């Protein structure tokens, strides 16, 4: 299965818009929704979401003829390189990092828009990528949905809101009767703070925050257990961001939803997350509980990001800017990818890539932390 939107080629609008329902045309059957496991656990007491050594490599080489004539080698981009994490049911894991570090690629791997080059993803004890390709594709896609970053691009401007939200219900065979569809769409709009009367409008009649609420309502249509949120508030004003985030938090409490939340905004991450993972050039460099990461960051890159945040009690003091530039991902430095920007780098850092190891409850990939060269705060 190469195209999760049936006959539509991504990223064009697939019927009601990009990511509308994340359905697999003609794959499997829309059977009854399985009863959820106990809160906090997936099948067999395991975390609901488990990513194992997840990797995705893209071939960005020049065309074959150009490579032959110009004698250029193939070029491979390791967008995600060995990412592993777990998310318990009803919890939120936030992924942060600079642009190009692989956060959105991880999101697309988890919803089946990309197939992994290496590793895998287990959802509720089941191999999710095998399910995406097999007879259980529809059932799996009902349980995993995605909220896209841009509310102006993810909704089809030619469709009424009623049709946009109802499409996943029709495609999965959950509701087919017209009156019942309208009632369900009205319930979904109400759940995100909009009026049922809004179903008769087009996307252009709404503000950015209202459009993102419509995207959330569409994602909730199949009653998913796991939502992948790819920077859902980055295109919105600060006041509107708070409204959307509060809606998402309320929905999580009421429905026991599990979130993977991707963001650049560390203030937003602090508000919504339970755990935080910091990514750099396709790899996790630190993974910790939210309180621990913000109060006792271990990796030099995490410290650098947190030092760049404006603080009320530091008014008048010069902030430490993020130092250096992200290396070229097509030609990353040997050893630790962060070593050209790290004040603690030594010869080992420049030669040997660190592994993600446990350090007092924080998982961190750093030789300086492992060797005790970075003191605890």
In angstroms, the CA 186 to CA 195 distance is: 7
Is residue 115 within 8 Å of 129, Cβ to Cβ? yes
Instruction: Judge residue 203's burial from the number of C-beta atoms within 10 Å of its C-beta, 0-12 exposed, 13-18 middle, 19 or more buried.
Output: buried
Q: Can you give the pLDDT at residue 235?
A: 78
| Model confidence at 243: pLDDT above 50 | yes
Question: Sign (positive/negative) of CA torsion 20, 22, 28, 29?
Answer: negative
Q: Percent of the chain scored above 90 by pLDDT?
A: 66
| Model confidence at 64: pLDDT above 50 | yes
Q: At what angle do helices 161-171 and 208-220 cross, to 10 degrees?
A: 20
When comparing pLDDT for 14 and 108, which is higher? Answer: 108
Residue 67 DSSP symbol: H
Is residue 97 within 8 Å of 306, Cβ to Cβ? no
- Lowest-confidence segment of 36-40, 225-229, 340-344, 356-360 by average pLDDT: 36-40
What value does the mean pLDDT take over residues 297-312?
85
| Model confidence at 14: pLDDT above 70 | no
Q: Can you give the pLDDT at residue 316?
A: 58
β-pairing verdict for 92-96 and 275-280: parallel
Q: Can you give the pLDDT at residue 40?
A: 44
β-pairing verdict for 258-262 and 283-289: unpaired
What backbone torsions phi and psi does residue 99 show, to the nearest 5 degrees? Answer: -60, 140
In angstroms, the CA 29 to CA 111 distance is: 18
pTM, whole model, 2 decimals?
Answer: 0.83
- Lowest-confidence segment of 21-30, 66-75, 116-125 by average pLDDT: 21-30
Q: What is the pLDDT of residues 109-126, one digit of tens each?
A: 999 999 999 999 999 999
Class for the domain spanning 43-273 = alpha beta
| Model confidence at 198: pLDDT above 90 | yes
């Amino acid at each position: 299965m190469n195209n999760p939107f049936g006959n539509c080629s991504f990223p064009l609008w697939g019927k009601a818009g990009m990511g509308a329902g994340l359905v697999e045309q003609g794959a499997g059957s829309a059977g009854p929704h399985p009863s959820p496991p106990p809160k906090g656990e997936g099948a067999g007491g395991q975390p609901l979401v488990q990513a194992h050594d997840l990797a995705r490599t893209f071939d960005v080489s020049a065309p074959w003829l150009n490579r032959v004539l110009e004698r250029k080698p193939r070029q491979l981009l390791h967008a995600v390189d060995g990412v592993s994490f777990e998310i318990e049911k009803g919890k939120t894991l936030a992924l942060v990092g600079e642009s190009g570090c692989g956060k959105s690629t991880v999101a697309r791997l988890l919803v089946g828009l990309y197939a992994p080059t290496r590793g895998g993803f287990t959802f509720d004890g089941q191999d999710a990528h095998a399910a995406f390709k097999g007879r259980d594709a529809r059932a799996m896609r009902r349980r995993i949905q995605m909220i896209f970053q841009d509310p102006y691009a993810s909704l089809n401007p030619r469709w009424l809101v009623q049709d946009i939200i109802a499409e996943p219900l029709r495609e999965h065979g959950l509701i087919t009767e017209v009156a019942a569809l309208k009632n369900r769409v009205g319930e979904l709009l109400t759940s995100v703070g909009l009026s049922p009367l809004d179903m008769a409008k087009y996307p252009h009649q709404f503000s950015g925050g209202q459009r993102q609420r419509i995207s959330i309502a569409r994602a909730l249509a199949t009653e998913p257990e796991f939502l992948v949120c790819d920077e859902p508030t980055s295109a919105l004003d600060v006041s509107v961001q708070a409204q959307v985030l509060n809606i998402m938090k309320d929905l999580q409490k009421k429905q026991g939803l599990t979130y993977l939340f991707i963001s650049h905004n560390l203030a937003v991450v602090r508000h919504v997350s339970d755990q935080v993972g910091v990514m750099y050039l396709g790899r996790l460099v630190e993974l910790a509980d939210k309180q621990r990461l913000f109060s006792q960051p271990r990796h030099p890159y995490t410290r650098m990001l947190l030092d760049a945040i404006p603080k009320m009690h530091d008014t008048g003091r010069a902030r430490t800017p993020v130092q250096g530039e992200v290396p070229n991902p097509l030609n990353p430095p040997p050893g630790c990818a962060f070593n050209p920007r790290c004040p603690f780098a030594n010869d080992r850092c420049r030669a040997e890539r660190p592994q993600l190891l446990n350090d007092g409850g924080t998982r961190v990939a750093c030789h300086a932390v492992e060797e005790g060269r970075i003191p605890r705060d």
